[in-house]
Amino acid sequence: MPIDLKQFREKLTYAAQASVTQIIADLQEIAEIDRLAELKQKEYGKKALYYFLGIVIALGLIIIGSIIITNNQLLGLFTLLLIVGILWLVIAFILALVNRAKFSRINVINYRYQAAQRIMQMLSRDMDANTGIRLHLSFQAIQKNEHKTSTIPHPTKSGWKIDNYQHEWISIQGLFLDKTRFELSATSLSKKQYGWKRGSSGKNKYKSKIKSVGLDLHLNLTYSQRRYGAIKVFKNEVDSALKLPKLSNLRDLRVTDKSLHLAVRISPNVADNQEEIYQTVTAMFLSLYQVLNLAKALSK
């Protein structure tokens, strides 16, 4: 279904429960909207710059004209024409800035829809094309009040504080062909340090620093006990089946008779790298399914 551009611009989120094919098509449309927004933002930015330079040049001509034109009537006409031109340029400048801001709103975070596209394509290989899948994808910035989880005093800088943020920007739920239900989510973690610092001149200046803490990935598989009932035999060996990328670290691993839960944190320096996110998600699925396939063989 076509993306509602007005609603998308307002909320910066995409949520749907539909077939994999439909959702992949919607993600492609979001990618096209983003590319158009990037082009338009640059276009109106250049126009705003040209209009501003035109205003400066017109003001300069008025000053120069007042110096070199001695005929008062001619000077008045010359100045009037330039003032009209300046008014037109000011209006055009403001409109260009408004349009630039409008398109910058939907110039969304690229790696999120790129990672979502690749993950959905990977999942679709083991799903019925007509089976519904639920996706919630947010393009909101993490440093928003609604994503703030706590504020604490800075441990070493007196008077400074640290705001902690976390934002679950993607959540996917669906069903594989083997009737295993999966839930995947990605949560960005960030912190902002801020406070007043005395500069070399002796004046106090407000300083702030934003730092990524990483990206937490959570994967939960709920499987058929009849098909994978022997999983309990491998409870103590599941760790050895995990094959994660070098920049991803295991945070949690839980095994029950009905489900597998895996939590992984991606290093801060690649937390916004869609390739690293995709590779880690793929490794998480493959690792857990290696265990399930062994349990399936043993169950038989």
Question: Burial, 73: exposed, middle or buried (Cβ in 10 Å; 0-12, 13-18, 19+)?
Answer: exposed
Are 116 and 145 in a shared domain?
Answer: yes
pLDDT beyond 90 at 269: yes
Are 237 and 95 in a shared domain?
Answer: no
CA 200 vs. chain centroid, Å, equals: 37
Are 68 and 213 in a shared domain?
Answer: no
Report the domain count for the chain.
2
Give the model's confidence band at 282: pLDDT under 50 very low, under 70 low, under 90 confident, else very high: very high
Of 105, 137, 154, the last residue of a domain is: 105
CA 80 vs CA 52, 74, 230: distances in Å: 19, 10, 89
pLDDT beyond 90 at 229: no
Are 55 and 139 in a shared domain?
Answer: no
pLDDT beyond 80 at 88: yes
Of 71, 105, 139, the last residue of a domain is: 105
Are 71 and 164 in a shared domain?
Answer: no
> What pLDDT is recorded for position 298?
62
Q: What is the mean pLDDT of the chain?
A: 89
Of 105, 134, 153, the last residue of a domain is: 105
pLDDT beyond 60 at 141: yes
35 lies in some domain: no
Give the model's confidence band at 155: pLDDT under 50 very low, under 70 low, under 90 confident, else very high: confident
> What pLDDT is recorded for position 1?
56
pLDDT in tens, 176-214: 998 899 999 999 999 999 888 877 777 888 888 999 999
Entry pTM? 0.85
Q: Which domain holds residue 83?
A: 40-105
34 lies in some domain: no
Report d(CA 22, CA 6) in Å as an integer: 20
